Amino acid sequence: MIEEYYSKGCQYCSGLSSSIFKSLSSEQYDLLNRKQTCNTYKKGDILYREGSRITGFYCVKSGKFKIYKTGIDYKPQIIAFARTGDITGYRSVLSNEPACTTLEALEDSEVCFIPGEVIFKLIRENPDFSLAIIKLTCKELDHANVFIKDIAQKTVKERLAEILLMLEEYFALDSDDFININLTREDIASIIGTATESVIRILGDLKNERLIELKGKKIKILDKKKIKLIAESILK
Amino acid sequence: MIEEYYSKGCQYCSGLSSSIFKSLSSEQYDLLNRKQTCNTYKKGDILYREGSRITGFYCVKSGKFKIYKTGIDYKPQIIAFARTGDITGYRSVLSNEPACTTLEALEDSEVCFIPGEVIFKLIRENPDFSLAIIKLTCKELDHANVFIKDIAQKTVKERLAEILLMLEEYFALDSDDFININLTREDIASIIGTATESVIRILGDLKNERLIELKGKKIKILDKKKIKLIAESILK
DNA sequence: CGGAACTTTGACACGTCTCAAATGCCGTGG
DNA sequence: CCACGGCATTTGAGACGTGTCAAAGTTCCG
């Protein structure tokens, strides 16, 4: 009975202490569980597209996603990633505007959908929830600003080094100590704003310098200290 | 009496319908007026510095500001501007972290300071106020993401064209139809992430193409349509 | 097994940065 | 009020990083 009750919902959306939902009262928590619905998606599936209307939050139960904007000649610019426990789509819902990014699954995934009206109700009822959302957006805003500075001032190699560190931090390691994410060279290029060939060449350089190891799409950081120095523009 | 009462406060912080304070009740409005204090600053003054602690919001009563992060070799990266009616510093207060940017006056200015505790009180009491802040941060976040895409994918000339349009939109025109802001070539370079000399050369090109007019630091857009096409990567 | 997508390599062109030097502008102090 | 010093602007030459294009090799997946 309890099993069935919770099967609609998602523990990451409501239960984790790290989540923005941690301040909810038990009634609010129940409301959330009742109103949310889960779906599964396959690699390559697009949950929503830039410019479309979205009506609620998406909470990642499992899987990984890339979040991107579309630029000149449909060239994608990856703005962020999402992993288990992350929330996306809130910006557009909260400001009642069309989605400003596209959300695409990087692997098979499960995602909960939380209707916008639930969110607005929670904001009205629970100031701590509002504050949690405010903090979340402020944090993302700072990340975005740091990235603007980096992309404007650093070389491609420095940016690549930085992104490798970010990916390791964000997606952690698999059982062989490789960064636990599969991205194409093109994906990586579209994070740091460069050409696919440049990514390939610089990854090759880093490999020759014995700072990283490559196995297909998998990347392992061998010398984190030096990678950091490169990312900080201290070592060339 | 009334004059004196309001002289502490600032009509832009509390009275304008466009402000985030428009949803305040009359008591909340009074609280805001009682607790805020105004100061004057001179061109070049720094109100707060990246990394320092700030304890409240800054609301611009008059004047103009640049908001920047400091990068490699102390090279500044301008993230945003502030003008009359704008609020800054809220990110750091709301997330209780050190300031992530520096705020510097571009001309003599007046600024109101609103203590953080007032803000938090308003958030607790007034969900509409929370929602206004959330919308504000979401909007800024989207701007930041658009700019990441642009800086990553566009050429210097395209970015410069885009920034000229942004500056005209944001600072409007003076009596001679020039954009109403004085920025050094270096400032402009540090918005779009390029070298000062590149800005000078490309401004010169645009002038020769009769798309803009230059008079010292002042810039006038002569052919907005073509500038837009350049900014959109349609015209080279 | 075949085809499509992805990766790799090379050659080359071009945009942009760097450095250097000259000139112009402006506020400060004599 | 003028002269000075410092800062901003401008211009040129050259180097370098990165993007582009083309072609071949590889991996992935139906």
Reported as a single tens digit per residue, the pLDDT across B62-117 is: 999 999 999 988 999 999 999 999 999 999 999 999 999 999 999 999 999 999 99
Residues B81, B165, single domain; the answer is: no
Scan for tokens 């297909």, then name that residue. A216
- Contact between A90 and A57 under an 8 Å Cβ cutoff? The reply is yes
Bases of chain C with protein Cβ within 7 A? 6-11, 15-20, 25-26
pLDDT (average), residues B187-215: 98
CATH number (domain holding residue A224):
1.10.10.10
Min Cα separation B199/chain A (Å)? 14
Distance B217 CA to D4 C1' (A): 24
* pLDDT above 60: residue A4: no
Cα separation, B233 vs B236, in Å, equals: 7
* DSSP-based helix, strand, coil % in chain B, nearest 5: 45, 20, 30
B129 located within any domain: yes
Residues A171, A139, single domain; the answer is: no
* A124 reaches B (C-beta below 8 A): yes
With a CB cutoff of 8 Å and minimum separation 6, the contacts of B60 are B12, B82, B83, B84, B85, B86, B87, B88, B109, B110, B111
User: Does the model's pTM come out above 0.75?
Assistant: yes
Residue type, A157: K
With a CB cutoff of 8 Å and minimum separation 6, the contacts of A50 are A69, A70, A98, A99, A100, A101, A102
Q: In the listed set A150, A174, A202, which residue is the last one of a domain according to the structure?
A: A150
CATH number (domain holding residue A133):
2.60.120.10
A236 located within any domain: no
Residues A8, A102, single domain; the answer is: yes
* pLDDT above 50: residue A3: no
* pLDDT above 90: residue A55: yes
pLDDT (average), residues A43-72: 96
* pLDDT above 90: residue A171: yes
Comparing B12 with B39, the larger pLDDT belongs to B39
Residues A119, A190, single domain; the answer is: no
Residue A65 pairs in a beta bridge with A82, A105
HSE of A119, CA atoms in CB hemisphere, 13 A: 27
CA trace torsion B163, B93, B130, A16 (10° rounding): 110
Task: Kindly report, residue by residue over A70-103, the tens digit of the pLDDT.
Answer: 998 999 999 999 999 999 999 999 999 999 999 9
pLDDT (average), residues B206-220: 97
pLDDT of residue A11: 63
pLDDT of residue B10: 63
Residues B18, B110, single domain; the answer is: yes
Distances (CA, A) of B93 to A79, B58, B125: 25, 11, 18
For the ranges A22-36, A211-225, B111-125, B175-189, the lowest mean pLDDT is seen at A22-36
Residues B43, B118, single domain; the answer is: yes
Give yes or no for CB of A44 within 7 Å of strand C. Answer: no
Residues A123, A73, single domain; the answer is: yes
B236 located within any domain: no
Residues B129, B166, single domain; the answer is: no
* pLDDT above 80: residue A18: no
For chain B, state the CA radius of gyration.
19
Residues A172, A128, single domain; the answer is: no
Concatenating the DSSP letter of every residue in A63-132 gives S-EEEEEE-GGG-EEEEEEE-TT-EESHHHHHTT---SSEEEESSSEEEEEEEHHHHHHHHHH-HHHHHH
Confidence of residue B19 (pLDDT cuts 50, 70, 90): confident
Partner-chain contact B79 A139, CB within 8 Å: no
pLDDT of residue A5: 41
pLDDT of residue A15: 55
A193 located within any domain: yes
Min Cα separation B74/chain A (Å)? 11
Residue type, B136: L
- The chain-wide mean pLDDT, for chain B, equals 92
> What's the burial of A91, exposed, middle or buried (CB within 10 Å: 0-12/13-18/19+)?
buried
Cα separation, B217 vs B90, in Å, equals: 31
Tokens of A204: 């090759």
For the ranges A23-32, A39-48, B171-180, the lowest mean pLDDT is seen at A23-32
* pLDDT above 60: residue A9: no
Confidence of residue A236 (pLDDT cuts 50, 70, 90): confident
Instruction: Express as a percent the part of chain B with pLDDT over 70.
Output: 92
Scan for tokens 């944090």, then name that residue. A139
Q: In the listed set A106, A131, A150, which residue is the last one of a domain according to the structure?
A: A150
* B155 reaches A (C-beta below 8 A): no
* pLDDT above 60: residue B4: no
Domain that holds residue B211: 154-231
pLDDT of residue B1: 40
Give yes or no for CB of B174 within 7 Å of strand D. Answer: no
Q: What is the DSSP letter of A30?
A: H
Residues B139, B163, single domain; the answer is: no
Min Cα separation B172/chain A (Å)? 25
- Contact between B86 and B136 under an 8 Å Cβ cutoff? The reply is no
Domain total of chain A: 2
Give yes or no for CB of B131 within 7 Å of strand C. Answer: no
Residues A64, A159, single domain; the answer is: no
pLDDT of residue A14: 57
Comparing B37 with A10, the larger pLDDT belongs to B37
With a CB cutoff of 8 Å and minimum separation 6, the contacts of A45 are A104, A105, A109
Tokens of A64: 């990984």
Cα separation, B56 vs B32, in Å, equals: 12
* A51 reaches B (C-beta below 8 A): no
Distances (CA, A) of B203 to A215, B76, B163, B194, B232: 47, 21, 12, 13, 17
With a CB cutoff of 8 Å and minimum separation 6, the contacts of A226 are A209, A211, A235
